[in-house]
Amino acid sequence: MNRDSRIYIAGHNGMVGSAVWRALKKLGYTNLIGKTSTELDLRNQEAVTHFFNTEQPDIVVDAAARVGGILANLKDQYGFLMENMQIQNNLIQQSVTAEVEKFIFLGSSCIYPKLAPQPLKEDYLLTGPLEPTNEGYAIAKISGVKLCQALREQQDRYFVSLMPTNLYGPNDNFDLQSSHVMPAMMRKFHEARENDNAPVTLWGSGTPLREFLHVDDLAKAVVFTLENELPGHLYNVGTGKDLTIKDLALLIQKTVGHEGEIIWDRDKPDGTPRKLMDVSKLKKLGWESSIGLEEGIRETYAWFLEN
């Protein structure tokens, strides 16, 4: 890539998009393009077509999506499936029409079957049933992966799908109704500490195992994928290490300084029992994560306090 390549980052204000923007800017890329959701509704085909005709990007990073935790996904499977397909279909189609040089599609580890062998390999895609609580979102992302794969195989286009594990970091969503597990815990512990170390109630049993990747590490993986010609169409992005939700809670509790009780609400769903990524495919090509979980949580909590 040239430092003046026109790079459109869809979803540039979100946690992932803003991290990719920061990473590219830090490396001297000067021609970054971003539009807010009010400036450009990516669900609107006509609006996206007009945008591509006007801006003529050379490279597209699709970090735009409707995302949420278990509760948000459960309440609106239709919305998560339909809106994510609209967003990615419009971006992919217009990128084909505009003959962009490179397209990075960002998905999630939830595309893999609920009970797939661990750690999750890229080859396990579509080998079993999905986790029901976020099936709509997962199916949308799977369709995006398959579109990029088909374009690569049929038209030899550089469309690559990166599937990150659970992400966290600056610009995360800390809304308790729609956030993922880590920011939700962070806010709960913070508010409980402020409220005389009140007890904190968390969903499930605390036994599921999860892997967490700092969003700045994902951004570095995106840059790595853009600056190198990767031979495959699908790559997992993670740390290759996991921990129980209970251990995560204790780590966040310690970071926040909450000294009250933790209550586990076992009537609430646990979700997938384990979700660990096999990251050997990307590691062999020269990329691996560098931000430790304890360090990353400290940085994220500091950002939360400031913002």
* Residues taking part in catalysis: 137
Cβ(137)–Cβ(110) below 8 Å: yes
Name the residue among 259, 134, 247 with its Cα closest to residue 190. 259
Cβ(228)–Cβ(286) below 8 Å: yes
Binding positions for NADP(+) = 11-17, 106-109, 141, 164-167, 180
Peptide bond into 119 cis (omega under 30): yes
Name the residue among 161, 163, 185, 159 with its Cα closest to residue 174. 185
Binding positions = 11-17, 106-109, 141, 164-167, 180, 188, 203, 210, 270
Angstrom distance (rounded) from CA 23 to CA 278: 24
Contacts of 156 by beta carbon, 8 Å cutoff, 6+ apart: none
CA distances from 80 to 18, 67, 87, 266 (A): 22, 7, 11, 26
Cβ(62)–Cβ(106) below 8 Å: yes
Angstrom distance (rounded) from CA 49 to CA 220: 29
